Amino acid sequence: MNPLEAKRHTLAHLLAAVIQKKYPHAKPTIGPAVDTGFYYDFDFSGGATPTSEDLASLTEEMRALLPTWNSMTGAPVSEAQATEQFAANQYKKELIQEITQRGDTLTLYTAGTFTDLCRGGHSENPATEIAPDSFVLDRIAGAYWRGDEKNPMLTRIYGLAFDTKEALDAYVTQKEEALKRDHRKLGQELDLFVISDLVGAGLPLFTPKGTIVRDELISFLWELNKAQGYEKVDIPHLAKPDLYKVSGHWDKYKDDGFQVHGRDKHYMLKPMNCPHHTQIYASRPKSYRDLPIRYFDVTRVYRDENSGELLGLSRVLSITQDDGHVFCRPDQIADEAGRIISIIKDFYSTLNMLGEGSYWARLSVRDPKTPDKYLGDTAIWDAAEAHLEAIASAEGLTMIRGEGEAAFYGPKLDFMFKDAIGREWQLATIQLDFVQPERFKLEYTDQTGAKVRPVMIHRAISGSLERFLSVMIEHYAGAFPAWLSPVQAMVIPVSDKHIEYAKTVLSALKDADIRADIDDANDSLGKKIRAAKTEKIPYVLIVGDKEIESSTVTIESRDHGKLDPVSTTEAVVRISKEIRDRA
């Protein structure tokens, strides 16, 4: 356990100590360290429960108690001793029984006057190792015991903790900025998508404006893929279970997929597209001269996520993938991976997400401790992992190895990107697969006339389009570049007498395929301009007496402020170029 994780784990105990002192009826359950701090779950039944308003005072009590924790020591105990220690706490007793049945050692850790059941991993001297201003209690939520909704609902208290006050403050600032950028809030304000209770959570409905953004991204993805030799295919949204039994997805997804029953048929809504694509490949004989074959598809897959995990666009049931599969010879792997990396770089640099230090690649490989999770023999996996590592090195990618992150059929290069406020996201991926071609008996005829297996490369550029949109909305805080904006220009007449001239400007914009609108409401000019800014429209074209007299428009750019008056033709040329260049 690293020092920061040890501090966070220690602070979970410190919180439990304060809670037990202030709420003697509370029963502590578990309290681990997490990525940004810690939490502890309590059962407060039979007495008062803290609220969000109590978090500040509880934080201060933790800081007051911290100097008394000069050590944190553990001692092994028998099952009887541990049970006696927690005789009134059924949650701890359940844990004690499980630990004993596994044959693991029971240990009690003590700091100050507080003792807890724990396996260890703490600061040795919390008073000197933990800065009192480096942590704060953050929020309260509900959580079922052991994550099972059949169990009692507990109260979870979250805390934030970092090495220093400066690191804590930086995270809090980032979190506040993230709240302003929340894609669910912006999606509603900008009229991009709707979540309907009648349709169901996890099934977003895209409005006309949201559909424009989706379609622009899909069009750009196709443009990039077409230039690299990909061809479009189209597949149905369901298949017989037999397809997924052959691919290996049935065992993995049968409980997380949607089963569909017809009059006398049993189907499954597809959790993956790759098995369908293998059947397109297999439909005709192939020669080594035909390879590589590159398929491009924008289509949906369906996975039955837990209702509590569904969140806006970032976690949905209906997942749109810009899915692609390459079938190639082994000697073509490096070139095909290079083509995919070129697409990834073009896509993300255009979206301003490919700056220095803003992305890296994770080489996602097997966990050697759980070989049963993966299909295919060791030699095939060794070869696939070596191929990807060599490709990442040849492409000059900053790479980190991720054990246990591989797909069940092959290793991956997962591309991690930082957004505008420094949050990290896994988006694009390249997956090397020797297993499915074998399971589906895919083949081509080589130069000698022998039948051999192709290599299958799975690749996604945006990944889940819904999840990517959630990241992109927050990356731009809703202020999309002109080429992605649902409304690219708003024409605003100063008063009613300027409406006719404004309509001629609007017509010129639309004739140039600029997505434009007119605000001819009976409102003040200031109110109209503020409305356009709220909608984050890239260009506002204002027309009044002087513009009519000089046959010009006054332009206000969202990104560059007020510009000099220009002719309508010049305005159209300027805006069209920015859109065309995807600037």
pTM over 0.95: no
Q: Which residues of the chain have pLDDT under 50?
A: none
Given the residues 249, 387, 412, 498, the one annotated as active site: 412
Asked if 303 is an active-site residue, the reply is: yes
Asked if 503 is an active-site residue, the reply is: no
Asked if 323 is an active-site residue, the reply is: yes
Given the residues 85, 321, 332, 436, the one annotated as active site: 321
Nearest CA to 344 among 482, 422, 434, 228? 228
CB 488 within 8 A of CB 539: yes
Asked if 458 is an active-site residue, the reply is: yes
Question: Would you say the C-alpha torsion 468, 470, 476, 481 has a positive or negative sign?
Answer: positive
**277 sits in which H/E element:** helix 274-281
**CATH T-level fold of 3-174:** Threonyl-tRNA Synthetase; Chain A, domain 2 (3.30.980)
CATH code of the region 188-237+271-476:
3.30.930.10
Given the residues 138, 297, 323, 414, the one annotated as active site: 323
Edge-to-edge, what's the strand order for the sheet holding 266-269? 238-239, 266-269, 259-261
Given the residues 122, 294, 325, 536, the one annotated as active site: 325
Residue intervals of the chain classified under CATH 3.40.50.800 are: 489-580
Tokens, residue 19: 């809670």
Q: How far apart are the first and last CA of the chain?
A: 45
Alpha helices in 360-498 (DSSP H): 378-394, 435-439, 465-476
Angle between helices 465-476 and 208-227 (to 10 degrees): 110
Could you give the 3-state DSSP secondary structure of residue 85? helix
Cα radius of gyration rounded to whole Å, the chain: 29
Per-residue pLDDT of 21-41, as tens digits, reads 999 999 999 999 999 999 999
Place of tokens 């070139």: 335
Residue intervals of the chain classified under CATH 3.30.930.10 are: 188-237+271-476
Given the residues 92, 249, 286, 303, the one annotated as active site: 303
Task: Round to whole Å and give the CA distance between 160 and 33.
Answer: 10
Task: Round to whole Å and give the CA distance between 382 and 477.
Answer: 43
**Which CATH class, in words, describes the domain spanning 489-580?**
alpha beta
Task: Round to whole Å and give the CA distance between 354 and 418.
Answer: 8
Q: Tell me the one-letter amino acid at 404.
A: G
Q: How far is CA 19 from CA 30, 48, 92, 293, 317, in A?
A: 13, 11, 16, 62, 39
CB 582 within 8 A of CB 483: yes
Beta strands in 494-547 (DSSP E): 516-518, 539-543
Q: Tell me the one-letter amino acid at 425.
A: W
Asked if 459 is an active-site residue, the reply is: no
CB 134 within 8 A of CB 25: no
Q: What share of the chain is helix, strand, coil (3-state, %, to 5)?
A: 40, 25, 35
Helices (H) and strands (E) in the chain, counts: 19, 29
Residue intervals of the chain classified under CATH 3.30.980.10 are: 3-174
